[in-house]
Chains A and B, each alone.
Chain A
Amino acid sequence: MKRSVVLVFTLLALAACKDDTPTATSETSESGISFTLITLPDHEDVSIHVAWPTDWAYRAETNKAAPLVGTELLLAGGAEGFPAGEVVERFADLNSEGSMYASANDHIIGELTFERGNLDETIEIANAHLRAPTLDETWLARITDGLAQNMAEAQAQPAHAGFDAVRWAVFGEAPLRNALSLDDPQTFEALTRQDIAVWHQETFTRNPEAIVVAGDINADAAAAAIDTLLDGLPDTRVSPTWETPIDFSPKRILLHQPGAEVTNLAFLALLPPTQEGGEFEDLILAHALGGDDQSALFEAVRTNLRASYAFGAGMSNYTRAHRLLFMTGEVEDEKLAEAETVVLDAYRAFRSGALSGELEDRKAPLEANLSDLAEFVVDQARSELQSALDGLPVGRSLQLTDELAAVTDSSIMARLENDFPQPEDFIVIAVSPDADALPGACVIQEPREAASCP
């Protein structure tokens, strides 16, 4: 009995000695590929996130549907040695997950998550799909057709059409507009396998801009996994040019859709890019502005004006450099003009006043969220990867709690005063069945006409 007790204490002591604090290190693989390793002790899962830079969306000669269709085709269409219908079942057996998407039109991001014990086979399958995807014509047609139908349905929705119109106003004929909206009629029809092949060839190289590996995996194993994952990809380097003309001058636009069943109202203006800091202030402010039933916009538009079920605020990105603050919601058509005034008045008051209640109350949910971020391997890796793409220091995703703690009433007020747009900076877009519902607005019949609105 005594020996058992000693053994138990020894085990407890060993357990206590084990350091389970997440750490971040910069590593380089044997073949010279740099990556960030976020060590998350005791995780069974490993998540690898890779960001390949691309300026496909900014170039005139490219088919803008290629990244959207291509990312699906790579994942679903099979690869050398792995027929589509078989590999999907094998991946499910392994409990492995893969996804791929375009981020802010400047990177293609691939995410691979798997149990540590299934690393070898998962990496082998993923490498084949990156290196030698089948790009099968049947799957290409199937995916293209489906996405074209989905986009056509979405574009018929008033809110979606309104945001399309804003992009016409902001970007005009610049290539980036169609990359964001995919509303040029021939985009999907003109897409060919060759477009996908070219996009694939130039995008997926051995030289991504950033790689993050998160999980309980040592540096050598992670490095070997990276080398195998990117094995056989071209050793070329992309020098993307992320420049586009942009005109965010304020406008008031009404898109007249006689058949619209609902009326939608939105306001959009620029915020500084996330790489310049202030993200936590923005999160707190956007939530206070239009995040729930106690927000300024809910109070103004629903509770007082009684014009909307849900009118809120949020943030999004056209590009990494062009970040948006938006306020939007559906409104009763007869109250559209009044709602525009009420929203701007509410925003003006919000911007010039202090946050209601205690700042600590508003920070508490974020603190709770951040306190366990390291328990979610995918989220931790995503956060670190996006920080890396913003040029922030390695391990920034492990310092978010400290960043939040540094937020003060003063920093909140400074953010409002210095970085949040003035009320008159917003582009206002309404979509209504009534052409006269927003007096003085530039009335258009099609989204593309917004490019000509003064």
Chain B
Amino acid sequence: MAMQRTSKQSFDMNKAKVLLYLGFSKVTSLGGRGKIIASTGLALGAIFILFLSGLLYKTDILKDHRDQVFAYVPDARIHVKVVLNSNEADPALIHYVEHLAWLNAIGGDRDADRHSNAWTNGYAVGYWLSGQPEDLTNLLSQLKGVFAPLDLPEDFAFEERDIVLREYDFRIAGNPVAQAAEAMNGFLYAGNPIAASVIGTPDQIAAFTYDQAKALHAETHRPTNAVLVITGDITERQLRRAMSEAEWPAGVPAADVLNPPAFDLSATDLERFEVVNADAAPRLIWRKVVALPEPAQFDLLEAQTALLADILTTNLPGGIAGPLRFDAGIARAFNVSIWPIDEDNIEIEFFATPDSGVQLAELERAFDDTLAAIGASGIPEETYTRVLGRFDGFWPDWADKDETAAWMADYVTSRVSILRQPLSERALKRLDRELSLHTTNALLRQLTGEGRTAIAYIGSEESF
């Protein structure tokens, strides 16, 4: 039996770029449980398949009387997902292609129990269908339609640009944090594919042509550019048979597809952004990307950076909650996140709201000074040990097969979505041994050194 407290667990991945979904944005429940994980990295035929047995997505509880929107999303049974490398194409255009390809292959009439959606991020584009295990062949048959040439009426394809514009309204218009993030991404990642906006600007969206979309679709939506991920309670034999019956096209080993573009950090620089909005609550977003002296394995780096973020968030010596929140009234609330962009570069984000009467510039200075001081003195061993003791939840309870299966399903899906090879369960289990105070302090020093910094002030000008 899985030992879980709540269904609302999240797998926080790919913070660098927003994942844009084609359909309703309610489809966000990543909490999970499952049965037994069968295998990962199972190569079938020429296409690489990531197959996880036993995933059942857990959704929200049935009863909720709070005066809020009750977003109910039934998601269960088998999930069939295909992820395509976007080959460094303009992500806004590939996002438009995603809309069209989904309509071409999956939109329209389906059985009521087959749920579907699609997404685009800065690296890849993905489509999924879910249904009952016995429908696997049909699910695969329908999903392979994303490889078929776009064959929508031209007027309908043009109208879909208007839907993308509505999506822009939904996500960006009137959202100062999203607007700041778009601008900061462009600066921090300058010269790299992920610098470009996935949603694009209204002018960009309006300028897309159907011919452009068809050409990009033909270039990217190929079996040789795809990775298939199956999660559900099926056997390897059932999967083989279903793929054969569905005539799933031959591809190439996943290693050729799961290959994110190299990230080259631009020159050290600092840029300020101001999102003036008289109605907006004042907020400071402080982000910095730094290069590491030596590359580190991505999953290990993700754990190391997450641990450092946990430490910095505390009110313990070496944390910033004391100087900014508990010992002085500077930050009413804040959050620190640190994550790897790749094996050579990491990013830190400090997201904070100032206390009453505190200007954003004052909050920025206080954070700068505090981070520099902690970087100079290092994290005390007592603090490191104490926070490490709370870090168990970063990974599943490996002894619990159900919990592990669910976690692995989310993990594999998330890794593939950013074109990265997932590690095996065995390799993941060993990562915690490589966490150390020495590495933590080394990362901290790096973050307080040279890098590319973007700072956004949000709110009325008086609050700046």
The verdict on A350 contacting chain B, using a C-beta distance below 8 Å, is no
| B-facing residues in A372-405 (Cβ within 8 Å) | 372-373, 375-379, 382-383, 386-387, 389, 400
Q: Which among B42-50, B160-168, B253-261 touches the partner chain? A: B160-168
Residues A379 and B281 in contact, CB atoms below 8 Å apart: no
A379–B9 CA distance with the chains assembled, in angstroms: 12
Tell me the minimal C-beta distance from B61 to chain A in angstroms: 5
Contacts of B280 in A (CB 8 A): 153
**Which residue of the partner chain B has the closest CB to A400?**
B62
Given contacts A85-B321, A364-B77, A104 and B113 within 8 Å (CB-CB)? no
Could you say which of B26, B110, B132, B326 contacts A312, with CB atoms under 8 Å apart? B26
Could you say which of A44, A86, A104, A291 contacts B3, with CB atoms under 8 Å apart? A44
Residues A287 and B322 in contact, CB atoms below 8 Å apart: no
Q: Which among A120-128, A139-147, A201-209, A244-252 touches the partner chain? A: A139-147
Tell me the minimal C-beta distance from B6 to chain A in angstroms: 4
Residues A376 and B315 in contact, CB atoms below 8 Å apart: no
Residues B77 and A89 in contact, CB atoms below 8 Å apart: no
Residues A88 and B315 in contact, CB atoms below 8 Å apart: yes
A357–B107 CA distance with the chains assembled, in angstroms: 16
Could you say which of A279, A283, A331, A372 contacts B58, with CB atoms under 8 Å apart? A372
Could you say which of A105, A152, A291, A309 contacts B279, with CB atoms under 8 Å apart? A152
Given contacts A89-B315, A365-B76, A314 and B166 within 8 Å (CB-CB)? no
A45–B2 CA distance with the chains assembled, in angstroms: 11
Tell me the minimal C-beta distance from B150 to chain A in angstroms: 17
Contacts of A382 in B (CB 8 A): 61, 63-64
**Which residue of the partner chain A has the closest CB to B280?**
A153
Given contacts A291-B72, A308-B166, A386 and B279 within 8 Å (CB-CB)? no
Residues B23 and A293 in contact, CB atoms below 8 Å apart: yes
The verdict on B211 contacting chain A, using a C-beta distance below 8 Å, is no
- Find the residue from A45, A149, A366 having the highest chain B CB count within 10 A: A149
The verdict on B389 contacting chain A, using a C-beta distance below 8 Å, is yes
Q: Which among A28-36, A91-99, A217-225, A231-239 touches the partner chain? A: A91-99
The verdict on B333 contacting chain A, using a C-beta distance below 8 Å, is yes
Residues A309 and B73 in contact, CB atoms below 8 Å apart: no
Tell me the minimal C-beta distance from A171 to chain B in angstroms: 12
Given contacts A291-B72, A317-B65, A330-B169, A372 and B112 within 8 Å (CB-CB)? no
Residues B67 and A145 in contact, CB atoms below 8 Å apart: no
Q: Give the number of residues in B that approach A within 8 Å (Cβ atoms).
A: 77
The verdict on B272 contacting chain A, using a C-beta distance below 8 Å, is no
Residues B67 and A180 in contact, CB atoms below 8 Å apart: yes
Residues A97 and B5 in contact, CB atoms below 8 Å apart: yes
Residues A369 and B58 in contact, CB atoms below 8 Å apart: yes
The verdict on B70 contacting chain A, using a C-beta distance below 8 Å, is yes
Given contacts A303-B107, A306-B163, A142 and B329 within 8 Å (CB-CB)? yes
Residues A294 and B72 in contact, CB atoms below 8 Å apart: no
Residues B173 and A262 in contact, CB atoms below 8 Å apart: yes
Residues B67 and A318 in contact, CB atoms below 8 Å apart: yes
Contacts of B368 in A (CB 8 A): none
The verdict on A55 contacting chain B, using a C-beta distance below 8 Å, is no
The verdict on B282 contacting chain A, using a C-beta distance below 8 Å, is yes
Residues B62 and A291 in contact, CB atoms below 8 Å apart: no
A86–B107 CA distance with the chains assembled, in angstroms: 54
- Supply 27 A–B pairs (Cβ within 8 Å), ascending by A: A47-B5, A85-B315, A89-B316, A103-B66, A104-B66, A138-B329, A156-B279, A262-B169, A279-B62, A283-B62, A288-B112, A291-B73, A292-B23, A292-B24, A293-B117, A298-B24, A306-B160, A310-B24, A314-B69, A314-B70, A332-B166, A364-B74, A368-B56, A370-B62, A379-B7, A382-B61, A382-B63
Question: Other than the known A314-B71, A355-B112, what 8 A-B pairs have Cβ atoms closer than 8 Å?
Answer: A43-B3, A262-B169, A274-B65, A292-B23, A292-B73, A317-B65, A317-B66, A372-B56
